[in-house]
Structure 1
Amino acid sequence: MKIAIGSDHTGIDYKCLIIDFLIEKGYKIKDFGFSSCADKVDYPDFVHPTSKFVEKGKADFGIIICGSGNGAAMTANKYQKIRAALAWKKEIAFLARRHNNANIISIPAHFVKKNKVLEIVEIFLKTDFEGGRHKVRIEKIPKKNNNPQ
């Protein structure tokens, strides 16, 4: 399984921790994240390529990290085939996959402790989509429409 990951300066420590964990578990990684905490950077610069990579099917899932997780999720959700979910605890990560078939998890670095982040990521990646009534609901999410009526 291939995972795309991107982060801003706030998420560097988490990104490195997650990458090491996933490589150890046998995942392939495409890293779009920033690599130095010496400078501040803008999260869209790393979320856009991560999201495009997942949208094109070059990765099974994506992980994005910024301070609140909100900006990263909002950016990722601009892509038609992306369902990015903000997850700050394992129960949210589980439901994001199980009920919403999220393909990107957005982690809020300011609100998740390092000793919990790997558990959140692992649950997200190992949870299957339930389908059924949840599939029907997802199909009702509006698609990108450049000419709303």
Structure 2
Amino acid sequence: MMKPKIGIVSDHGGFALKEFLRKSLEESFEMVDYGTKSEESVDYPSLVGAACQKVLAGDVPRLIALCGTGIGASIAANRFPNIRAALCHDEFTAEMSRRHNDANVLVLGGRVLGTDLALRIVQKWIQTNFEGGRHERRLQLIEDLKP
């Protein structure tokens, strides 16, 4: 039986937590690692942007993105149409990001979260389905927003 795919990407600030999550999830999921490969300083917009393009191309259905705080990775990911990146700090926001917003990118702060909490957040995000209904209309309203 094939394991479901999940992408994961980080900069140097999220590297340690990325490695922990990747190793913790690889028994149940095919973890596709889009970098970085060390704690050497790198630019998160390039890495997160390339990984979001993999989501949009259908290479992976969902992505976990990390940087030091999660803020920069979240901003970078949300530059892409049809990427709905949610920066989550607890299980409730992770659940709601899926249930109400159909988030396809979970963003975490590697320097903000401990490993146990981060793993619980990821597990909740993976297990939660989009409710649809009135939330579909709201997602369309978001897509229709013009600057």
Normalised by the length of structure 1, the TM-score is 0.91
Shift of 1:144: 8.0
Which runs of structure 1 show a deviation greater than 2 angstroms over 4 or more consecutive aligned residues?
A: 142-145
SS in 2 for 1:5: strand
What is the aligned-residue identity percentage?
37
SS in 2 for 1:4: strand
Unaligned runs of 5+ in 2: none
Shift of 1:24: 1.3
Corresponding position of 2:16 = 13
C-alpha contact 1:80 1:144 (8 A) present in aligned 2: no
Shift of 1:45: 2.0
- 2:46 aligned with 1:56: no
Corresponding position of 1:117 = 118
C-alpha contact 1:90 1:120 (8 A) present in aligned 2: yes
Shift of 1:123: 0.6
Shift of 1:66: 0.5
- Please give the per-residue CA displacement for 1:34-81, whole angstroms capped at 9, x wherever unaligned: 1111x2111112101110001111101000000111110111111111
For residues 83 and 91 of structure 1, the distance between their equivalents in structure 2, rounded to whole angstroms, comes to 17
Equivalences for 1:98-109 in 2 at 5 Å? 98-109=99-110
